[in-house]
């Protein structure tokens, strides 16, 4: 059986949530999506997420929310990370941190799907080795399913590509998040793992990485502290649709997705 998995790039603020509210369910129905993963670490005002917003995203059709380096920015998410298995924090934070870095959840096709969330280390905050942590998590997740998706939330393209090759043949897909710019390097690696360096951004593209242009330019040109407000124009959904063989866990195809307000 083939299952269709939609993975959505970093949701930025209210504009990102609005386009998901308006467009996601129609896309899921049209493309026969069986499972939807979304990175939500910028969903609340551009930094972090709240329990209310997480539940909002679930109501729009998202099955699992992954996070990143802004996971702790909104303090009221702490309890939700402990109690709801469908929202993940990077698994290579301290094992003493609340929350978890993986989940196995049944898709709408009845096939269990594993989701793993890790954080890169190049130009990022100090964390444990994502490669070693993925190995440890796979010992658990691979006992439950062969369909496994990894969100590698990282700054360096090289580190995300390295994770794809490291996991080739052991997971269905490795997708990069964090940089908010979609890359054109989607591919199926030789042993059947789909990869892309970055999914891009679900939010306002008339912006600098989702923030108002004048605010970012002011900060760059003056070197003065500036509040980066979330932009509002040209809202799009960025992500990929991956078709996976549920028996083998290997990806058949990966295709970039872009949905605009007028679509």
Query: Per the annotation, does 42 bind a ligand?
Result: yes
Flag whether 234 is marked binding.
Answer: no
Gap between the Cα atoms of 35 and 32, Å rounded: 9
Alpha carbon distance 261, 37 (integer Å): 20
Q: Which one of the listed residues 34, 70, 79, 205 is annotated catalytic?
A: 70
> End-to-end alpha-carbon separation of the chain, Å?
30
Give how far the C-alpha of residue 60 lies from the chain's centroid of Cα atoms, to the nearest Å: 16
56 is in an annotated binding site: no
Nearest residue to 236 via CA among 262, 254, 211, 255: 262
Q: Establish whether 69 is an annotated binding residue.
A: yes
70 in active site: yes
Q: If you write DSSP's letter for every residue of 172-232 in order, what string do you get?
A: SEEEEESS-S--S--EE-TTS-EEES---EEEEEESBTTB-HHHHHHHHHH-------B--
Q: Is 10 annotated as a binding residue?
A: yes
- Of residues 116, 124, 195, the one with CA closest to residue 156: 124
User: Distance between CA 16 and CA 74 in Å, rounded?
Assistant: 18
Q: What are phi and psi of 101, to 5 degrees?
A: -105, 10
Q: Is 178 annotated as a binding residue?
A: yes
Known binding-site residues for Fe cation equal: 10, 41-42, 69, 153, 178, 180
Just list the catalytic residues: 70
Known binding-site residues equal: 10, 41-42, 69, 153, 178, 180
């Amino acid at each position: 059986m083939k299952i269709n998995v939609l993975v959505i790039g970093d949701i930025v603020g209210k504009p990102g949530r609005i386009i998901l509210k308006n467009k996601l369910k129609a896309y899921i129905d049209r493309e026969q999506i069986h499972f939807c993963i979304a990175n939500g670490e910028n969903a609340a005002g551009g930094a972090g997420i709240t329990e209310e917003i997480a539940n909002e995203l679930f109501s729009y059709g998202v099955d699992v929310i992954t996070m990143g380096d802004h996971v702790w920015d909104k303090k009221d998410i702490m309890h939700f990370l402990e109690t709801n298995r469908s929202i993940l924090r990077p698994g290579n934070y301290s094992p003493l941190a609340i929350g978890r870095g993986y989940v196995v959840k049944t898709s709408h096709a009845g096939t269990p799907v594993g989701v793993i969330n890790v954080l890169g280390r190049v130009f990022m905050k100090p964390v444990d080795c994502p490669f070693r942590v993925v190995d440890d998590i796979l010992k658990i997740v691979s006992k439950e399913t062969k369909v496994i998706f990894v969100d590698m939330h990282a700054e360096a393209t090289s580190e995300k590509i390295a994770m794809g090759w490291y996991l080739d043949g052991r997971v269905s897909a490795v997708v990069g998040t964090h940089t908010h710019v979609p890359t054109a390097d989607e591919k199926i690696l030789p042993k059947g793992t789909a990869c892309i360096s970055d999914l891009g951004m679900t939010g306002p593209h008339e912006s600098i990485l989702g923030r108002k242009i004048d605010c970012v330019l002011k900060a760059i040109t003056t070197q003065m502290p500036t509040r980066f407000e979330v932009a509002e124009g040209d809202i799009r959904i960025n992500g990929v649709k991956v078709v996976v063989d549920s028996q083998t866990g290997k990806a058949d195809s990966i295709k970039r997705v872009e949905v605009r307000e007028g679509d």
